[in-house]
Structure 1
Amino acid sequence: MAKMQFRQGPSRVPFFKTMQRVPAGMMLIPLVLGVLINSFAPQVLQIGGFTQALFKDGALALIGLLIFATGAQITGSHSGKAAAATTGVVLVCKTLIPASIAIALGLMIGLDGFFGISILALLAIMGNSNGALWLAFAGEYGDERDTGAYVASAFDDGPFLAMIFLGASGLGEIPFLALVAAVVPFILGLIVGAVDREWTQVLDDVPNITIPFMSFAVGTGISLGTVLTGGLQGVFLGVGVVAFTGGLTYLGYRYVLKRGPKSGIGFAAGTTAGNAVAVPLAVATADPRFLPYVESASAQTATAVLVTAILAPIVASWVLKQSGGLTVHDPVPDAVA
């Protein structure tokens, strides 16, 4: 009983709630701490043992755990009764078209990209979406078709779509075994989520546990100078994600799905997931040619995560208000329920 009371009592210092109040805070605050330590006291975490394994070298293992949990969520509690059309539109408009354009740019101008924005950064930022934000927004203003389209964001989470695009286009030399290794945790998660819903429920908490530690470990590979120089580019990319990928999804909602006043929900897809900050490192692990871009791409991605987390729901709400669709919990029409 005493133990239960201790767990339910108030926190002396509410670190977790504070991080949750900051847009993308679960990713951003640990990342910044990792950057600061790497910039001013890098030797602190280079002492070996469990300390270095978790806080310095643990990013890839934590990414793998996050990918496994993502796979379990697709076939588990969040899949719901979403229409396949809604999920398809979100996936195509938010991820597949923007990623294809990034690849086309890479083929035309090379991996260096433009204005200090590498193709690796474009793929990481454009090709990952914030599923938690989508669930929260769609749950308030949409219906089961919208919340179920979370499956689309689950598919684009992690590095394997970026690897597939880079490998298929020839821009990256991704070994087949490395691609398989990136997908195996996801496939195992799909299987676990399909056969055991209790595991799915347990794994729902994995992002809250994993993302802060993963982001900190990624931050220890980034210098403060890179963050400062990449900040403006990250802001530009974040605004571009909301306008371009959110706008494409809005058009899909309006003209393909015929959602009328509710089409503004599509702008809520114009985000970058917090775990996208780890995509550059994962890609470079498979193809070392991308190593020179990892530091700047990770910093730009972190900035874009923050910008999109703030801007996307504001834009989506404004568009819904202008069209008269800013009402909560609309029922699913009988024809599509």
Structure 2
Amino acid sequence: MTDTTTEREIVPLYQLMSRVPGGLMLIPLVIGSLLGTFATGFLEMGSFTTALFQESALPLIALLIFATGTQVTLKTSGPVLATAGVVLVCKSIIPATIVILIGQVVGIDGILGISILALLVAVDNSNGGLWLAFTGRYGDKRDRGAYIASALNDGPFFSMLFLGASGLADIPATAMIAAVIPFILGMVVGNLDPQWREILRPTPAIVIPFFALALGTGIDLKAIVAGGIGGAVMGVVVAPITGLFVYLGYKLILRRGYRSGIGFAAGTTAGNAIATPAIVGLADPRFEPYVETATAQVAASVLVTAILAPLIASAVLKREGGLLTEEEIERIDELDLGMTEPKL
């Protein structure tokens, strides 16, 4: 006889985390940052402990990217690319253009103690891991597939391009290809064998808390403190403003209606951006005096936007009726997706 009795939780950890908007990603991220700042000895113990809690971010994100690819059929690839294009234009190109225009007026010193270098680096990229974590819970195939935009804007490419360092702005072709291979292979496997698509469907719920914690270990809270008020203010500005651009792209271009709030989840600064000021300083000596402060301020923006962006996105989705249950999102995923979705 099958035992159908539901086992009760001693401590309802999953429910508690789920009650926080984006909690399955945010809470492990914060825990990871605490470990990375105050418990480096634990993270450096070696073996499986280090492998899981410190070094697993990239492999787990790669697995999520592969799993996302399996969910994208030939019928839905067009909307996926359209979504990625809108995210790239609205999150990177438009904000970077605005910052450069501001720089032409005020100079590279920037405003309120925030250099143009720091501001540009904070706005022209997005946290792909956070985007995958948020859309893995609240988005559909189009949104999860739009991580491609983060693969393109991650790193110093846009910063160097917009600052005029064109001689060093080229991203190696192999790096670009390597970023999209897992997604493409996932698409191939999912279209050849739909059973793999079903097997990998639960992947986001499994890997998100683990790679979020590992990402958090790379955020040094001491650097956030060093960034001071300027870095925190920058993060507070970057999250809603750049997120708003993507929200408007979702609303006006993609016609996503009540689900447009997902766009605010793109209002982040990528962890890799912390290294960009130093790279730019090497490419153009004029920015060398700003590198140290800009690095600390960008680090502050990484943490602040990682907290604010999913909170804002969740709030907007809830207000507009787009904060759906996992079952409702699964129904959307099963539809032949066009550029609009039916109201559930």
TM-score where L is the length of structure 2? 0.67
1:68 corresponds to: 66
- Report the CA distance between 1:29 and its aligned residue: 0.9
- Report the CA distance between 1:298 and its aligned residue: 6.0
Q: Which moved more, 1:17-26 or 1:294-303?
A: 294-303
1:207 corresponds to: 204
User: Following the alignment from structure 2 to structure 1, what is the Cα–Cα distance between the partners of residues 94 and 39?
Assistant: 40
Q: Which moved more, 1:33-42 or 1:91-100?
A: 91-100
Alignment match of 1:34 (pick from 32, 45, 48): 32
Mapped pair 1:243 → 2:244: yes
Q: Which moved more, 1:18-27 or 1:86-95?
A: 86-95
User: Following the alignment from structure 1 to structure 2, what is the Cα–Cα distance between the partners of residues 282 and 64?
Assistant: 19
- Report the CA distance between 1:244 and its aligned residue: 2.2
Is the Cα contact below 8 Å between 1:162 and 1:283 reproduced in 2? Answer: no
Alignment match of 2:121 (pick from 119, 122, 127): 119
Q: How many residues align?
A: 295
User: Following the alignment from structure 2 to structure 1, what is the Cα–Cα distance between the partners of residues 198 and 278?
Assistant: 37
CA RMSD of superposed structures (Å): 4.4
**Residues 173 and 54 of structure 1: is their aligned pair in 2 closer, same or farther, counting only changes over 3 Å?**
farther
Which amino acid in structure 2 is aligned with residue 44 of structure 1? F
Give per-residue Cα distances to partners, 1:24-61, cap 9 Å, x unaligned.
Answer: 11111111111112222211111211111221222222
Give per-residue Cα distances to partners, 1:121-155, cap 9 Å, x unaligned.
Answer: 531159957424654xxxxxxxxxxx6xx414412
SS in structure 2 at match of 1:269: helix
SS in structure 2 at match of 1:124: coil
User: Following the alignment from structure 1 to structure 2, what is the Cα–Cα distance between the partners of residues 320 and 5?
Assistant: 34
SS in structure 1 at match of 2:116: coil
Is the Cα contact below 8 Å between 1:34 and 1:218 reproduced in 2? Answer: yes
Which amino acid in structure 1 is aligned with residue 183 of structure 2? F
- Report the CA distance between 1:284 and its aligned residue: 6.1
User: Following the alignment from structure 1 to structure 2, what is the Cα–Cα distance between the partners of residues 63 and 37?
Assistant: 20
Mapped pair 1:217 → 2:214: yes
Give per-residue Cα distances to partners, 1:232-267, cap 9 Å, x unaligned.
Answer: 3322222113422212332336xxx5xxxx845434
TM-score where L is the length of structure 1? 0.68
**Residues 87 and 122 of structure 1: is their aligned pair in 2 closer, same or farther, counting only changes over 3 Å?**
same
Is the Cα contact below 8 Å between 2:32 and 2:217 reproduced in 1? Answer: yes
User: Following the alignment from structure 1 to structure 2, what is the Cα–Cα distance between the partners of residues 283 and 188?
Assistant: 30
Alignment of structure 1 residues 1-337 onto 2, 5 Å = 8-75=6-73, 90-104=83-97, 114=116, 116-119=118-121, 122-124=124-126, 128=131, 130-132=134-136, 135=139, 150-156=141-147, 159-163=150-154, 166=157, 169=161, 170=166, 172-227=169-224, 229=228, 230-252=231-253, 263=257, 265-272=259-266, 279-281=270-272, 289=279, 297=298, 300-315=301-316
- Structure 2 stretches lacking a partner, 5+ long: 109-113, 281-290, 323-330
User: Following the alignment from structure 1 to structure 2, what is the Cα–Cα distance between the partners of residues 209 and 288?
Assistant: 35
1:326 corresponds to: none
Is the Cα contact below 8 Å between 1:67 and 1:158 reproduced in 2? Answer: no
SS in structure 2 at match of 1:13: coil
- Structure 1 stretches lacking a partner, 5+ long: 136-146, 322-328
Percent same amino acid among aligned pairs? 27
